[in-house]
Amino acid sequence: MAESGALRQRIHDEPGFLLHTVPWRETSLIAEVLSRHHGRVALVAKGARRARSGLRAVLLGFQPLRLAWSGRGELRNLTAAEWVGGFGAPQAEGLMCAFYLNELLMRLLPRDDPHPQLYDAYQQALLELGELDTVAAQARPVRAEREECLRRFEWILLRESGYAPDLQHDAEGEPTRGEAWYRWSPEGGFRIAEPGATATSHPDSHAGALGPEAVSGAALRGLANGVLDSDGVRRQAKRLTRSILGYYLEGKALKTRQLLRELQAHDPGRSEDAES
């Protein structure tokens, strides 16, 4: 919460997650955090690199925090940080996915742009990824659930950032149809890929002549509802979100994606879940 006053120079007891840190001066850090009511904020954690600093043990990624800061401008001063607890951080494959979410937030979300729903979606995604790690340890397949989790978060991020195209209507203003196939363009939105082509004639766009960029109306509806209930729909949703994110990232590669490719080069059986 913020103290009264137009400048809101002192923030207290604010829920947040650490996204990224970089060294600052000799003993401090600049901590990029996602806060629920103030969006992404850059905070100077003075002395946090000292061995005996209380902040050093608290500023952990993928853990819920309570934060306080003061100041104005691009950099504020972190005055307090408390670990909330009761939260299992993702591990293994889930950890790669969590780093991917952080990189998306750092690249696409401007500072000081609050999105409480996006904050809640991030927290929920971390919870799901942590739970799926536990399931994976029990030798049950979780790839589909993990991909669905990533797609839900990606779409909420695009929507909250103002980048998401309308899934309910095509470029002509007509309602999108579950049985139809579409192509997306940044300028025109969704247009019919091939008149007369249906989900029956082309069960998956890889299998037909429509090309890999085609997406079914069923996949658009699935993204809108956060439910991707088949492998074909998940593949289409992944290709679509990759195209949209790539456009707004201006073609710049994500480091987490590059790291995943390097890991896959040494372990071809590793999942591709962390790639959008």
pLDDT in tens, 110-140: 999 999 999 999 999 999 999 987 766 555 5
What mean pLDDT is predicted for residues 169-173?
94
Whether residue 79 lies inside any domain: the answer is yes
pLDDT-derived band at 48 (thresholds 50, 70, 90) equals very high
Whether residue 246 lies inside any domain: the answer is no
The boundaries of the domain holding residue 115 are 92-163
Q: How much is the pLDDT for 175?
A: 95
Which of 56, 83, 110 delimits the end of a domain? Answer: 83
Q: 102 and 55 in one domain?
A: no
Structure pTM?
Answer: 0.87
Question: Could you report the per-residue pLDDT of 62-121, keeping only the tens digit for each?
Answer: 999 999 999 988 999 999 999 998 788 898 889 999 999 999 999 999 999 999 999 999
What mean pLDDT is predicted for residues 237-266?
84
pLDDT-derived band at 276 (thresholds 50, 70, 90) equals very low
Whether residue 113 lies inside any domain: the answer is yes
Q: 76 and 14 in one domain?
A: yes
Cβ-proximal residues to 231 (8 Å cutoff; 6+ apart), any chain: 144
| Average predicted confidence (pLDDT) for the chain | 86
Q: 54 and 25 in one domain?
A: yes
Q: How much is the pLDDT for 6?
A: 42
Query: Number of folded domains in the chain?
Result: 2
Which of 107, 129, 163 delimits the end of a domain? Answer: 163
Whether residue 245 lies inside any domain: the answer is no
Q: 18 and 67 in one domain?
A: yes
pLDDT-derived band at 197 (thresholds 50, 70, 90) equals low
Whether residue 236 lies inside any domain: the answer is no
Q: 79 and 14 in one domain?
A: yes
Q: 27 and 77 in one domain?
A: yes
Flag whether pLDDT at 268 surpasses 90.
Answer: no
Which of 117, 147, 163 delimits the end of a domain? Answer: 163
For the domain that residue 44 is a member of, what is the CATH number? 2.40.50.140
What mean pLDDT is predicted for residues 195-221?
68
